[in-house]
């Protein structure tokens, strides 16, 4: 416990991690999820502090296995924003997988004007050469998820999995529902409704890549 002033609190990082995961396990209902997603769901709750989100998780049956296989094969991780990319724990990636965000590419503004869409959607246009077998993690922009689904329906290379966590009041819920309802057979993990965000998208990658390694070794 820290005790240099009036406040006392847990300050040991290992204890913080372990106690946090114990609390998450105690307060989170996982019965409706396949066991292969339990550790990822726990990591998602740990990232946002809201056990209630688990009831809104939706996933294809094989998403955990497909993500693990893709990462073990060295697949890249494609993200819509740098905050997702920075949240991925690199030391837990099995093959030093490349994490790619194209939002800051200088070609994006012109592309956005050309396709009459947001920069986030335009950045997806630069994923084509990296998409085959990739792990896609979208944690901010509904337009990125919508546009990706449109491109995939047009015949673009298929990723191994899509982790869809756009957040917000305009298009977020609808884009995730489109992911759930897509008929391309793409493995996915998503959180229905308005909630989402970069921390959750990164947590999904970390959970699928490494489970709960912090819970075990701090």
> pTM above 0.85?
yes
Q: How far is CA 78 from CA 16, 93, 191, in A?
A: 30, 14, 18
What is Dmax (Cα atoms) for the chain?
Answer: 62
Instruction: Tell me if residue 137 falls in helix, strand or coil.
Output: strand
Q: What is the DSSP letter of 106?
A: T
pLDDT confidence bin for 213, thresholds 50/70/90:
low
Q: What is the pLDDT of residue 217?
A: 40
pLDDT confidence bin for 216, thresholds 50/70/90:
very low
Q: Which long-range contacts (CB under 8 A, 24 or more apart) does 150-156 make?
A: 151/124, 151/125, 152/182, 152/184, 152/186, 153/182, 153/184, 156/128, 156/131
Q: What is the pLDDT of residues 171-206, one digit of tens each?
A: 999 999 999 999 999 999 999 999 999 999 999 999
Segment 160-179 shows an average pLDDT of 97
Out of 32, 38, 46, 130, which one is annotated catalytic?
46
Q: What is the pLDDT of residue 210?
A: 81
| Closest to 175 in 3D by CA, of 206, 212, 209, 148 | 148
Q: Residue 147 catalytic? A: no
């Amino acid at each position: 416990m820290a005790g240099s002033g009036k406040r006392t609190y847990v300050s040991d990082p290992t204890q913080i991690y372990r106690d946090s995961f114990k609390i998450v396990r105690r307060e989170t209902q996982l019965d409706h999820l396949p066991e292969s997603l339990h550790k990822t769901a726990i990591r998602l709750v740990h990232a946002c502090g809201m056990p209630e989100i688990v009831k809104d998780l939706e996933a294809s049956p094989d998403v955990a296995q497909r993500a693990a296989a893709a990462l073990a094969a060295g697949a890249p991780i494609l993200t819509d924003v740098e905050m997702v990319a920075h949240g991925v724990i690199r030391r837990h990636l099995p093959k030093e997988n490349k994490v790619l965000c194209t939002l800051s590419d200088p070609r994006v503004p012109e592309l956005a004007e050309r396709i009459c869409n947001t920069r986030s959607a335009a950045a997806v246009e630069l994923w084509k050469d990296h998409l085959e077998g990739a792990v896609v993690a979208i944690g901010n922009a509904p337009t990125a998820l919508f546009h990706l689904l449109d491109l995939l329906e047009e015949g673009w290379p298929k990723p191994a999995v899509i982790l869809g966590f756009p957040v917000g009041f305009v298009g977020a819920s609808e884009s995730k529902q489109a992911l759930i309802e897509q008929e391309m057979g793409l493995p996915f993990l998503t959180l229905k409704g308005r909630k989402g965000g970069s921390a959750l998208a990164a947590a999904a990658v970390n959970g699928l890549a490494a489970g709960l390694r912090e819970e075990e070794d701090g």
